[in-house]
Chain A
């Protein structure tokens, strides 16, 4: 192991400078700078070796190299679309990458404008009036929507209704957010992978503060009766919160047209690729709730020369000003990922984005049809239109099928004793033939 330095190469300064600076502050040595009482001082022996840049890079590469190289047919809330090279190139420009929250808008016009453009694209995609410039992920955005519903509802009500097939991780995050304000998260039934509207009607009462649905659902099914969900929510003065993502929103029913009050979801379906679940939560809502929106908002203003300029706005909602009365505790958000989403969407343009979305339907339809022909497999399980993904029945135990598929170089979700979920996009489409062969081999 090469040890290039005993100090940090990113903390510059030679001995002479150090000496002069210590003199200037009146300290004998570096240790004298630390105003720490003896009993709580420690020796700094963490037992972590320093490495050269090359060795540290190799350590990461070698460690991550222990992952198996599998072609993933996985989704369920975390999606892989091909990310154009332009996205990586522009988003890694240091003036974006190494900047901070735009507290001084005069030197942050570039990022502010890019975030304003991101907000605007979400307004077009959702049909709602305002979007913020990111939450952590879809699950935390859903949690924020729940607390928002409680704040804006004219009468009290503490029930949050979610589909019974909601992804467990998302439900747990929602419960974490719901716990403090005393909201209770309850499931309503689904049928064939989408909302069972009769079941929802039965579950609803005037204590419901919010009804949540997803389009497409976690099963990959496209909701056929979203307007009915919106109407049911309305009848009980509950907020209708819809989960989706920017690719699906390009094609599926416009949330505003089905009565959605809030749209949450994963902006990262554009611009990020798979990153072990790292995402960017999108959040859009109606103007009536503007002052209750969590997170940062970029608005238009004018500068001293009367030119249009951009700035963070309505900051009195935020934690650094409002403290315990803030709409949310979110501070650091996912701004860089929002930038990537915007650049990706702009690179595709409306035609490219709609085509990508349509491919999500046809690729899933075609793959389901091909798997359905494999003896021992039935797909799709749900009699619905699908987007990117669908569930398939396997006569063999699903866990065994998935494990055998891994040996063949493929990863799928196990969602039931005899049920797997398969996701196909432009990213794994070239491997579809080999995948179908592998399923035929192991099923």
Chain B
């Protein structure tokens, strides 16, 4: 293959840095130089308590600065360009929340006395209150350290609730379009998973739901709008069916960004929900985390929240930690991903009611606008903050690789499976009309290209197409494994 054959022609394409050395990209730290330190006679511990030696990279600070700066040049972030990865809500994060999280008063130990960390407890209590209002929930815990940890917390709360009522409910019902975490979470909490097929309109099929729920149903886990970007319009009926069967309704908050100021899970009949504050509010995703997954519940479930919980003291003199009576215990060793929560608080306090509603409206407008501008077929609709296009005859994964050549991060591919060759796209509110037009141009350029071109992509990125099958077949997961 030749690099020239397929190079896109547009004028302002993103070209990634590519640092090469002797046929490899940027060398590993260990290849730049290591030292082995013997742990010897001058150690403050006797031999039998220590290791013999330690060998690690040994580089001067300027060398490290260059190594990591070069690596950063070989990485794409949302500040680099559009990142319309469906269901991940990769939106721009304001920089002032970074400064807020760096506040020296945020850097306190979790075992400090409540009296000495009133600021931390007040901020936590206020964020609990903000999230409760936004979700229509009566009580909120900030402890779960990620969305999936929030799911685990919520499902454990549902389990504890049924147990308290003397009921042995063994099943969790989940639509086939749901996030994989829902299935994994339910199994991890000890439930059998009942998969619910989607109806022809991409939404919950009421007949299928009625057939699926019963005396064994502990909960239905639902994302609304769902992963096709569709609002579950029959949500009231869905809630009635689940509640009539004695089950609880769990809201997966991954798509809450589409609803701010327009609808609240609590008003739709959800009993328990998680918030992905790193998606809906603010926290740069940091290459895959940390996030935070606060969980909101109705008053009926508040006594099951993890411990410790935080509340204002009855006499209004300050804030305290306490243990809810039927607490499920803990889901994080301490109090969750605190600095992510500080960022979320700062973001909500900045935007307020109008700003949150505006963010949501523009996220929805941008999704619908982009869906209307691309050549790929987009089944279903109208959309909330994401849509799923079909690459049709093309392989969605190959099409995605080609989009990289046009300087944009591609959508999520091949999922949800109910759309053939899915390109699940979420532009978020952060993109301007111009940037959406550029995105649409990239989609359209790729849509018009042949398979050979797609299979040769990407060409303009730091690394060319990586053979992932081989990497999985012969796992080499450390530099030590490369010596073998």
Contacts and interface: CB of A to CB of B under 8 A. Distances in A.
Interface string B197-240: 00000000000000000000000000000000011010110000
Interface centre among A52, A65, A323 (most CB of B within 10 A): A323
10 contacts: A66-B122, A93-B69, A96-B75, A102-B288, A116-B479, A120-B480, A123-B478, A303-B464, A324-B183, A329-B185
Given A305-B464, A349-B58, A173 B96 contact: no
Interface stretch (A24-32, A156-164, A199-207, A390-398): A24-32
A66 B133 contact: no
Contacts of B30: 117, 120
Contacts of A302: 466-467, 470
Given A44-B260, A347-B61, A136 B72 contact: no
Given A92-B98, A279-B334, A107 B112 contact: no
B-side interface size class: 35 or more
Contact of B236 (A12, A39, A66): A39
Contact of B339 (A138, A278, A402): A278
B429 A8 contact: yes
B85 A278 contact: no
Contacts of A63: 119, 122-123, 126
Nearest to A132: B477
Interface string A8-43: 111111000110111011010010011111011110
Contacts of B51: 250-254, 257
Interface string B394-412: 0000001100100001101
A173 B286 contact: no
B451 interface: no
B190 A181 contact: yes
B350 A351 contact: no
Interface stretch (B5-13, B37-45, B442-450): B37-45
Nearest to A16: B433
A107 B75 contact: yes
A80 B109 CA distance: 9
B187 A106 contact: no
Interface in B464-483: 464-468, 470-472, 475-482
Given A42-B264, A273-B107, A330-B146, A95 B409 contact: no
Given A173-B331, A277-B338, A57 B471 contact: no
A335 B427 CA distance: 23
A400 interface: no
A68 B401 CA distance: 52
Contacts of A113: 25-26, 28, 71, 74
Interface stretch (A231-239, A312-320, A371-379): A312-320
A339 B64 CA distance: 13
Contact of B349 (A56, A308, A343, A385): A56
A119 interface: yes
Closest 4 CB pairs of A and B: A277-B334, A336-B286, A44-B261, A50-B352
Nearest to A69: B105
Interface centre among B43, B69, B332, B429 (most CB of A within 10 A): B332
Contact of A90 (B37, B69, B90, B105): B69
A93 B72 contact: yes
B147 A331 contact: yes
Interface string B13-52: 0001000100111101110001111010001111011111
A250 B373 CA distance: 56
Interface centre among B48, B61, B284 (most CB of A within 10 A): B284
B334 A13 contact: no
A7 B433 CA distance: 17
A290 interface: yes
A10 B61 contact: no
Interface string A240-265: 00000000001111100100000000
B467 A100 contact: no
B56 A121 contact: yes
A86 B193 CA distance: 47
Nearest to A128: B478
B332 A139 contact: yes
A45 B80 contact: no
Contacts of B260: 44
A72 B44 contact: no
Given A21-B433, A95-B75, A250-B54, A278 B482 contact: no
Contacts of B183: 319, 323-324, 326
B468 A309 contact: no
A443 to B, nearest CB: 18
B471 A313 contact: yes
B461 interface: yes
B49 A222 contact: yes
